[in-house]
Amino acid sequence: MTKRTIDHFNLAQICESGQCFRMTQRGEDTYCIIAAGRYLEAEQRGRECVFSCGEEEFEDFWKAYFDLEGDYSFYLSQINPNDSYLRNAAEFGEGIRILRQDLWEVIASFIISQQNNIVRIRRCIANICERYGEPKKNFRGEEYFAFPEPGALSCLPEDALKECGLGYRSKYIVRTAGSIADGETDLGKIRRMTYRQAKAELLKLFGVGEKVADCICLLGLHHMQAFPVDTHVRQALEKYYKRGFPKRRYKGYEGILQQYIFYWELKHARSPSEAPRPGRKQEV
């Protein structure tokens, strides 16, 4: 067990922000996360968090995964006080962190995310892992599945993943897995590229367009200047930033602001009735 007191860190918000489709709520304030073949449970008690791993694994892996070294109070402090929309959105999601996820997992996950909703995306990914991922046991002795390596998917017929619910995205995953498995796409090289270079390279992948490439840059490469524009964010920008979002002002960390906006639009603006109310806990 490892315990930490962390500012600007909220498991519920991270989970619901929809950046990691393998983070799920387990108990009232407890979440489990499967990442890079590892399994973690974490419980939030106000500013305190208890993680189900030893200090060493926490320091070596999870600390970076949750981006605990990132200065989120700086990002929050830079928000234009006159921009009430952004101020609200940021306050609402002030515990969000941009997770440092595995590049291949992010590529596959966000190819699957296109024209898809979060519940289904989670199910698709769970299906793929159960079918093609390596089975493992967590500290409770329960079975869980790692995300399959590219080679485990590249050998499949292009339509095989339709059985996992991917629909037409099946061939995108199989072909992209192939281009990584056979070395045509070098993830190591992409990791060393700048944002612009990496995005251009990712756009070559079958099934990856503008929005997904930006998601991959932000969530798989931690390029904080990536600003993915999906339908929710587009509508918000059209509504609140008719003269364009002030990217200049937030140069270098536009991505976290995009997450605050996305999270606000997803949780609050679109369905106010389902938004969490102060002093009331959400049902499981």
Partner DNA sequence: CGCCAGGGGAGCT
Partner DNA sequence: AGCTCCCCTGGC
Positions marked active-site: 211
Count the residues of the shown chain that bind DNA, applying the rule CB under 7 A: 31
Between 70 and 207, CB nearer to DNA: 207
> Whose structure tokens read 């979060």?
118
For 135, list phi and psi in degrees, rounded to 5.
-75, 140
DSSP H/E element including 49:
strand 48-51
Of 196, 185, 268, 248, nearest in space to 226 by CA: 196
From 9, 11, 14, 18, residue interacting with DNA (rule: CB under 7 A): 18
The order of strands in the sheet holding 2-5 is: 2-5, 48-51, 38-45, 30-35, 23-25
210 sits near DNA (criterion: CB under 7 A): yes
Give me the least distance between CB of 101 and DNA, in Å please.
12
Between 82 and 117, CB nearer to DNA: 117
Taking CB under 7 A as the binding criterion, the range among 15-23, 93-101, 143-151, 273-281 that sits at the site for DNA is 15-23
268 sits near DNA (criterion: CB under 7 A): no
101 sits near DNA (criterion: CB under 7 A): no
The answer to whether 134 touches 22, Cβ cutoff 8 Å, is no
> Whose structure tokens read 């003269």?
243
Give me the least distance between CB of 18 and DNA, in Å please.
2
Work out whether strand 48-51 and strand 30-35 pair parallel, antiparallel, or are unpaired: unpaired
273 sits near DNA (criterion: CB under 7 A): no
The answer to whether 166 touches 153, Cβ cutoff 8 Å, is no
DSSP H/E element including 4:
strand 2-5
99 sits near DNA (criterion: CB under 7 A): no
Taking CB under 7 A as the binding criterion, the range among 25-33, 178-186, 188-196, 204-212 that sits at the site for DNA is 204-212
245 sits near DNA (criterion: CB under 7 A): no
* C-alpha span between 66 and 95 (Å, rounded): 11
Of 228, 222, 230, nearest in space to 194 by CA: 222
Give me the least distance between CB of 191 and DNA, in Å please.
20
Q: Which residues contact 162 (CB under 8 A, 6 or more apart)?
A: 170
113 sits near DNA (criterion: CB under 7 A): yes
Give me the least distance between CB of 263 and DNA, in Å please.
8
From 69, 81, 82, 117, residue interacting with DNA (rule: CB under 7 A): 117
Interface residues toward DNA, by CB under 7 A: 17-19, 110, 113-118, 120, 162, 165, 167-168, 205-213, 215, 228, 230-232, 262, 266
